[in-house]
């Protein structure tokens, strides 16, 4: 997912950045995978007149695409066959971050069955994951966790026609209409340049596609032909998907070797203002310490968590206040945590990716 035009989940803000970070294989999982950071909106409905070709904005789109050299008859055929989907409008009106906590995310994503599926996927694509690590500097467990959260390793890529999703949201969901019309235009450009069938390809209700659930503009910006076969295919080719997820993280400034997050100790109430600053690192560890917040040290003999780090006092961090299955949790998160939220704009999504990645790394080590 990318944002500026990011994966909302997966790809719109994650929107992506969550997420899932949008596969819709169940109502709960679909909500958890996409649009986890959009504000609640009033519900919208499909109009009785469902002919998108009659919309003035659609006429503008057709003219723009034709001016780029696309076939007008093809564009009209695809747009003319698009259908407004009421379920999509209902789904986007209920973003997951407003209804779910870290405790519910844990139950959705941190499952043994998902870990085992990830281990199988990792063994099948071991050489590709090694090459992705070497090329982009992204740990294999992070790549695996993204694909696991997004589509359960390709098992659930979404069942909506992408053209239906993007026309529904582009023309019948005014709060984000301009964003999704941009995605619709990019879908046609992908058909023209990347051999994607705009009429038949399916994905999430947000229009995200493939193993990693890239929205069209993310596909254009970050997808790579990782097996060098001349086609960049994120839907049918897991090799390209692995390389593209790694490229996405690299382009969003993942820092190799930097820990993602550590559990935090609190002393007093000085943490409250820091917790209100959000998940983008905006203060240093030294400032956190002065406010009574310290990261769990990996050198602490009383260590009870693998989520620890010992970083320079100048390291930028953010303070997370989450409600997990065992109650309140406090975390200090680094810039790499923020990079994960560029894939899906949700701290819950990023925490799910982090913890699934740790489970995967441990399972892979056990299976060596």
Which residues are marked as active site? 150
Rounded Cα distance between 149 and 6, Å, is 16
Rounded Cα distance between 131 and 141, Å, is 13
DSSP state of 256: T
Cα torsion 10, 11, 15, 16 to 10°: value is 50
Q: State both tokens at 151.
A: 């589509």
Rounded Cα distance between 296 and 193, Å, is 49
Rounded Cα distance between 254 and 337, Å, is 9
The residue among 236, 235, 176, 240 whose CA lies nearest residue 206 is 176
Residue 334 near residue 317, CB atoms below 8 Å: yes
């Amino acid at each position: 997912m990318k944002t500026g035009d990011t994966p909302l989940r997966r790809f719109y803000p994650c929107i992506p950045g969550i997420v899932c970070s949008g596969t819709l294989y169940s109502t709960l999982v679909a909500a958890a995978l996409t649009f986890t950071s959009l504000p609640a909106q009033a519900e919208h409905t499909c109009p009785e007149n469902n002919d998108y070709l009659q919309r003035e904005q659609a006429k503008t789109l057709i003219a723009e695409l034709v001016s780029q050299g696309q076939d007008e008859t093809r564009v009209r055929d695809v747009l003319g066959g698009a259908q407004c989907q009421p379920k999509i409008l209902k789904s986007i009106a209920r973003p997951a971050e407003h209804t779910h906590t870290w405790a519910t995310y844990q139950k959705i994503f941190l499952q043994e069955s998902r870990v085992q599926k990830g281990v199988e996927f990792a063994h099948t694509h071991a050489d590709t994951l090694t090459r992705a690590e070497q090329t982009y500097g992204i740990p294999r467990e992070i790549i695996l966790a993204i694909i696991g959260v997004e589509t359960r390793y390709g098992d659930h890529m979404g069942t909506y026609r992408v053209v239906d999703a993007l026309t529904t949201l582009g023309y019948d969901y005014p709060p984000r209409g301009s964003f999704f019309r941009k995605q619709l235009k990019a879908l046609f450009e992908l058909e023209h340049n990347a051999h994607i069938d705009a009429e038949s390809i399916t994905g999430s209700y947000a229009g995200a596609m493939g193993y990693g659930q890239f929205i069209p503009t993310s596909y254009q910006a970050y997808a790579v032909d990782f097996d060098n076969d001349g086609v960049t295919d994120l839907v049918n080719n897991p090799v390209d998907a692995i390389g593209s997820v790694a490229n996405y993280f690299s382009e969003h400034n993942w820092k190799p070797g930097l820990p993602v997050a550590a559990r935090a100790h609190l002393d007093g109430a000085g943490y409250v203002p820091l917790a209100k600053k959000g998940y983008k690192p905006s203060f240093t560890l030294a400032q956190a310490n002065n406010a009574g917040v310290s990261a769990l040290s990996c050198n602490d003999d009383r260590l009870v968590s693998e989520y620890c780090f010992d970083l320079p006092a100048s390291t930028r961090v953010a303070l997370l206040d989450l409600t997990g299955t065992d109650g309140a949790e406090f975390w200090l998160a680094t810039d790499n945590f923020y990079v994960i939220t560029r894939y899906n704009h949700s701290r819950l999504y990023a925490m799910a990716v982090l913890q699934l990645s740790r489970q995967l790394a441990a399972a892979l080590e056990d299976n060596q």
